Amino acid sequence: MSEVAIKVAVRVRPFNRRELEQNQRNIIRVLDEGALIFDPDEEDDEFFYQGMKQNYRDITKRVKKKLTMEFDSVFNEDAVNADIFEKCMKPLVNSVMEGFNCSVFVYGATGAGKTFTMLGSEDIPGITFLTMQELFRQMDEYGEERRFDIGISYLEVYNEQVMNLLTKSGPLKLREDSNGVVVGGLALKQIHNADELIELLHLGNKNRTQHPTDANAESSRSHAIFQVHIRMIEKKTNTKRTVKLSMIDLAGSERAQSTKCKGLRFKEGANINKSLLALGNCINKLADGSKHIPYRDSNLTRILKDSLGGNCQTLMIANISPSSITYEDTYNTLKYASRAKKIRTTCKQNVITTNMPKEFLLKKCNDQTSEIERL
Ligand code: ADP
Ligand code: MG
């Protein structure tokens, strides 16, 4: 068992056409690969531009406002999905192959670039595809040494209902067993290569409450949870590893803020995204080191319990726009991202080695991802 901090990355997307047309102010200065300034004033900016010639970190110390923030990674508007994959996801793929559960979730306001990061666009693959491609590449390298079984699921949490995006069925019930939260009636789809994966991803995306790349009100309220269950059996050593990799495209975080405004907006009960609010509460409590974490307050946090406080290596990617038009949203996203840095999870390798016959390894064992045994 080892304790590790949640890794937090921030990605700033480029200005969009509307923001450019409105001549919006840029409220983010990316200092280097691990730091940014939020809302620099003139004096900060002077230091920043001097810093172009000097060492950024020296400049950081001199910035007056305490709005220099540090993260595990900061990507400016020039970064492409492949950069995020290389720096943040490749290490996770290596961990998966060793037998560690891993999760990545994208957090941020609607339009900040979450789905673009996760799924990409028609011609630019997102980190989900790049990660799976790398996973298959590494599996191929093992050849006959290891046997792999992969099952995937793709869920949506919308209005607190859990739907299976691959079969367009639900709502599914969550229940708890000794391994944690189990989604009732969820059958994993077995896949053998990246092509099968793409097909299923497309299918799932089509079935999302609204097409995920439309930045509309509906899609911004749904959470998409893509999970890969992998069973690896090393023949020579009779070793079994069972791992779960989760990739989560969260709903737009601006909903959670509006619910904090008491009074008029508070009445918009229908718009309150209970799951996102609960996620925010869990992040706060975990960061404070509280004993009681209110995972049970929403279906999203029940499903993410493992990823947030359990046996998992977790990466949070906070997506932000650089434009002053999104000032509050950006500030709130960065605030949550800073808090999330304090969260620690305890990871262990999900490995069983036995001198029992090989068949034993294929049978149901009491380990983290018993769902894979049902394939
Ligand atoms: P979200 O899922 O956070 O609501 P999207 O990922 O749908 O936001 O992004 C909103 C729009 O901005 C989309 O048209 C998307 O293609 C574009 N976009 C987001 N991030 C980038 C980026 N890094 N580079 C280019 N375009 C981007
Ligand atoms: Mg989206």
Nearest-CA residue for atom 22 of ligand 1:
13
* pLDDT of 299: 94
111: Cβ below 6 Å to ligand 1?
yes
What is the Å distance from ligand 1's center to 325 Cα? Answer: 16
Any idea which ligand is nearest the CA of 127? 1
* pLDDT of 303: 92
* pLDDT of 320: 98
What is the Å distance from ligand 1's center to 120 Cα? Answer: 8
What is the Å distance from ligand 1's center to 114 Cα? Answer: 7
Query: How many angstroms separate the CA atoms of 279 and 154, rounded?
Result: 19
* pLDDT of 211: 61
- Tell me how far apart the terminal alpha carbons of the chain are, to the nearest angstrom: 28
Burial grade of 334 (CB within 10 A; 0-12, 13-18, 19 or more): buried
Question: What single-letter DSSP state applies at residue 120?
Answer: B
14: Cβ below 6 Å to ligand 1?
yes
Any idea which ligand is nearest the CA of 210? 2
What is the Å distance from ligand 1's center to 219 Cα? Answer: 13
Query: How many angstroms separate the CA atoms of 111 and 154, rounded?
Result: 22
Residue 370 corresponds to which tokens in the numbers above? 């018993």
* pLDDT of 67: 79
The one-digit pLDDT tens for each residue of the chain (375 residues) are 788 899 999 999 999 999 999 888 899 999 899 999 898 877 667 766 666 655 555 555 555 555 789 999 999 999 999 999 999 999 999 999 999 999 999 999 999 999 999 999 889 999 999 999 999 999 999 988 889 999 999 999 998 999 999 999 989 999 988 767 889 888 899 999 888 998 999 999 989 876 665 555 656 788 999 999 999 998 888 888 999 999 999 999 885 444 444 444 444 444 457 898 899 899 999 999 999 999 999 999 999 988 888 889 999 999 999 999 899 899 999 999 999 999 988 888 888 876 655 555 555 443 434 566 655
Q: Which atom of ligand 1 is nearest to the CA of 249?
A: 2
76: Cβ below 6 Å to ligand 1?
no
330 is annotated as contributing to ligand binding: no
What is the Å distance from ligand 2's center to 17 Cα? Answer: 18
121: Cβ below 6 Å to ligand 1?
yes
> CA-based Rg of the chain, rounded to a whole angstrom?
21
Q: What is the 3-class SS of 318-368, one letter each residue?
A: EEECCEHHHHHHHHHHHHHHHHHCCCEEEECCCEEECCCCHHHHHCCCCCC
Query: How many angstroms separate the CA atoms of 171 and 45, rounded?
Result: 51
Query: How many angstroms separate the CA atoms of 94 and 351, rounded?
Result: 15
Residue 119 corresponds to which tokens in the numbers above? 């799924």
Any idea which ligand is nearest the CA of 214? 1
